[in-house]
Structures are given as C-alpha cells and as structure tokens.
Amino acid sequence: MPNRGISNFEIASNKHVLNSDSNLEKLRTILLDRSIITEYLTGPGNPGDFDYGAWHVVCHLAAGCAVYKNASKLLWVEISFVPAKDIYISTVTNESGTSYPLFSDDGKKLLEGAKLVGYVEGTSQGHISARGVNDPPNRFNNWPRQDFDKSESSNEDGGRVWEHWCTVRDIRSSSEIGTSVLKAYLEMVSLCGGTFVSTVARGRTDYNHPDQLMALVKYGFISRDDALIDIKPKEIKDSVQKEIYSAIPAKCAQAVKSLVWDDNKITYYMFKRRINRWCTTDKVKSNLE
C-alpha cells in the first residue's frame, strides 16, 4: 500500500487517504504538533485555547459538506451530531430525508454507483447541528456550543463552523467528542478525496489557512494535485442559504436540489458573505513553489 508525505499517510488505490486507525493517529499528531503550525498561527482565540486543539482551518473543514448524485437523485454527506452519545459521525442523507452512517451497509448501498458532483461551504451563521445541547459554561475552554446556535435569519456568528471551533479545542485521544469529529472527517475525506479538503480550505485566505493547507500537502494528508484543483466558487442563493442554515440534514438534502450541479466536474458553493476571501489556484501554486 503506497504512502504519502512526511507522515507517510496510507493511500488507497484511488489516491484518497485511507480510512484507517493509523491515519487517524497521524492526522491527530500533525494537528497537535506546534512545530508545524505554531500557536500563533493556529487561528483566533485566547492564549492556551488550542494547546490540545486543532489548527483553525479544521473547524471549516469539519463543517464542509459534499453532494453526490445517484442516477437523478442527490445525496448529502456531512458530519452529523448523535444526541444520545454526544458525539459526531459521518452520514449520508437521501432526498427523502433519511440519514445513514456513511460506511454502514445502508450508507454504502446508497452511495454505490453515486458520483461526486460538489461541495458546500460550512455555515458560519445559523444553527449548529447539536441542536438543544447544553454544555457547561466551562466546556471547550469556556466556549459552550449552544452559544453559537442561532436562527436561520440571524446575522450573528454561529452555525456549524463555530460549533466545531468549539469541538476541536481538544482532539487528544482522551477527548471523545474531538476524536469523533476527526474520525468522521477522515471518513469523509477517504470517500470524497483530497479535493474536498483543499477546496473548503481555500475558502479563506485569513487566519493562516494557506499555511495550514500547505502543511496538509507537505505531511501527506492530501496531494499537491488536490491543492491545485482548478475551481472557482459559486454563490449560494438566499432561499437555499436559509435551509442550509437550519443544519438539519433532511432540509439540506432538499435545498441543494435547487442548485446547479455539473455531472462532469466538481462544483463548489459558498455563502456570499465570505466568497470574496477565496484563495485562487494561482495563489495556491505560488505558495507551493
């Protein structure tokens, strides 16, 4: 089995990172290594907030979603919340609103023969997926998730990006929630490929996302070709935005039916509030040289 990068990530025959326990630990290790991305470059926060946490780009990566097409039906792939266990898992949801764990028998059957058609930016406004959660005030270094559960019409910071800004503040193996997010994300990347990582990461040029993207290439989580995908984002229209801000997979699966998807290439949809922060292919190429 081939390996890639400084960390020797195990790579499948389709060049996607393999969904394995070994790769999970490699991902955890590089995200915790402050010799790769220093505390100053991890992103905004108070001193010590991310001593045991991931780089800032990860909250955006974990909130990103993918869209597949099986025949004429669309499928919504995301990291979902499991209230009974207070953890996160990767899921696939059909147009009827039924969700399955991504690699369950039902999930694999739903995805069999399906084609990846695109990605959707994670929400930085609206509801979180852990609707109704009630974290103690000191959880996640004093950033409880419910603080970021906003309505679909709110202009305040919230949504799934901010939710995972909380959850990935501790990604050590002793942290069940943080580990569940990493595991679910690795599963999604093993399915979608490294362009899922790079495309969502390129949605921001601030908070040192370009440096963090380059590090993911250098250490082998994704390839150079993944980072250089020739793509430009399209704007999500307001009517679709409101439904995605619900953070309910069934609503999201219905909402993306109103967007235009190309069977022959990957399309990326972003919310208009931050689409001007897109990092172009030429910019990524100059960073890699």
| 123-133 burial code (b ≥16 CB/10 A, e <16) | bbbbbbbbeeb
Strands (E), the chain: 3-4, 9-10, 65-70, 73-82, 87-93, 99-101, 115-120, 234-235, 267-270
Please check the confidence at residue 83 and state whether its pLDDT lies above 80.
Answer: yes
Mean pLDDT, the chain, rounded, equals 95
pLDDT at residue 53, rounded to an integer: 93
Segment 72-98 mean pLDDT: 97
Domain span at residue 64 reads 3-288
In 69-105, which positions are buried (b, 16+ CB within 10 angstroms) versus exposed (e)?
bbeeebbbbbbbbeeeeebbbbbbbbbeeebbbbeee
- β-pairing, 65-70 with 73-82? antiparallel
- Name 89's bridge partners: 80
Asked if residue 7 lies in contact with residue 220, where contact means CB atoms within 8 angstroms, the answer is yes
Find the helix packing angle between 159-167 and 176-192, rounded to 10°: 120
Give the angle 29-53-275 at the CA atoms, nearest 5°. Answer: 105
pLDDT at position 112 is 96
According to DSSP, the β-strands at 3-4 and 9-10 are antiparallel
pLDDT of res. 50:
84
The two tokens of residue 78 are 């995301």
Selection from 51-55, 178-182, 238-242 with the highest mean pLDDT: 178-182
pLDDT tens-digit readout, 14-27? 999 999 999 999 99
Q: Specify the pairing of strand 87-93 against strand 3-4.
A: unpaired
Give the global pTM: 0.97
- Confirm if 234 and 271 have CB atoms less than 8 A apart: no
pLDDT surpasses 70 at 43 = no
CA 172 – CA 284 distance, rounded (Å): 30
Domain count, the chain: 1
Res. 242: pLDDT tops 90: yes
Q: Which of 167, 186, 182 is nearest to 129 (CA)?
A: 167
pLDDT in tens, 144-199: 999 999 999 999 999 999 999 999 999 999 999 999 999 999 999 999 999 999 99
- Residue 45 above 80 pLDDT? no
Quick one: tokens of 270?
């972003």
Check pLDDT > 70 for residue 40: no
pLDDT value, residue 185: 98
What is d(CA 106, CA 103) in angstroms, rounded to the nearest whole number? Answer: 8
For the cut 90, the answer to whether the pLDDT of residue 212 exceeds it is: yes
pLDDT tens digits for range 116-138: 999 999 999 999 999 999 999 99
pLDDT for position 38: 81
Rounded mean pLDDT, 90-100: 97
Average pLDDT (267-283) is 94
User: What integer pLDDT is reported at residue 205 of this predicted model?
Assistant: 86
